Structure 1
Amino acid sequence: MSDLLPPPPGSGKGLLDRVEDSLLPLINLVFLLLMFFIVAGQMSEARLPELPPIAGQGGEQGPRADLMMAADGRLRVAGQSVEPANLGRVLPEPRPEEPLRLAAHRDVTMAELEALFRRLETVGHTDVLLLTEPQP
């Protein structure tokens, strides 16, 4: 009565023989998985691509913007200073599929930005994308 299950009729195998027979496929599967991960986990010799430089590591350039606002509130379009009253003449035509890109210096106050947004709205630019710079 030591067997958990009675042997199938005519097999003549005991419990240990039957357990051993059922463990063999499991051992084979574990071995194949081990071999797969050893081969798949090999380190490749290919180099990773170079990352672009971050601010403060040389190669620093300003953002590609349609309109830039300096810390003192001066506005620049395509590198040229412009008066707020002339924004409608020098900015590109408003396009619904592409918002106006505005780069503002980090020291610009929210009141100055709000005044600029109101001016831009009067000349037809209702969709503005504010470009930011990460903190160093």
Structure 2
Amino acid sequence: MTNLVPPPATSGKSLLERVEDALLPLINLVFLLLMFFIVAGQLANEPLPDLPGAAANGQEQTPDADLKVTEGGRWLVGSTTVDEQNLLSSLPEPGAGHPLRVAAAESVTMAALERLFRTLERGGYNDILLLTESGS
């Protein structure tokens, strides 16, 4: 009986040797890519440029927020200080087409923000946007 499929031409190499020969170009490629990114990372020594919308020359912009939390932990709606009882009545209705925007001072603790967010959640505000400012 005659074999219909001829045996593979292995040129006398074992399966392990053929796998090693196939992996060598891949190993070389990975090494070259690694070297490229090491060199490219060393070339960029400058900081990233400022974003187009960033405030220039140290001018600070007041955030466009529905609610502001000051450094002392006071809550401001517009320029009026509100307490926990009057907070929900001073804010726009929940789900009015955009999330409630909250701006907090840098020194406000997470515990104070959590208390505020729990109050807002009880009032029906499920979509809240916390405005942040990048440090320089």
TM class, shorter-chain normalised?
A: 0.5 to 0.7
- Contact 2:71–2:107 (Cα < 8 Å) also in 1: yes
Question: RMSD across aligned C-alpha pairs, in angstroms?
Answer: 1.7
Listed as ranges, the matches of 1:1-136 within 5 Å are 51-52=52-53, 54=55, 57-58=58-59, 60-95=60-95, 97-136=97-136
Q: Deviations over 1:27-60 (max 9, x none)?
A: xxxxxxxxxxxxxxxxxxxxxxxx55526623x2
| Partner secondary structure for residue 130 of structure 2 | strand
- Number of matched residues? 85
Distance 1:85 1:61, change over 3 A: same
Distance 1:55 1:113, change over 3 A: farther
TM-score by length of 1: 0.57
4+ runs of 1 displaced by more than 6 Å? none
Tell me how far 1:97 sits from its aligned partner: 3.9
Whole-angstrom CA distance in 2 between matches of 1:81 and 1:93: 18
Task: Tell me the amino acid that sits aligned with residue 101 of structure 1.
Answer: R
Tell me how far 1:95 sits from its aligned partner: 1.2
Q: Which has the larger radius of gyration?
A: 1
Whole-angstrom CA distance in 2 between matches of 1:125 and 1:89: 12
Using the aligned pairs only, state the percent identity.
47
* Structure 1: unaligned runs, 5 residues or longer: 1-50
Task: Tell me the amino acid that sits aligned with residue 62 of structure 2.
Answer: G
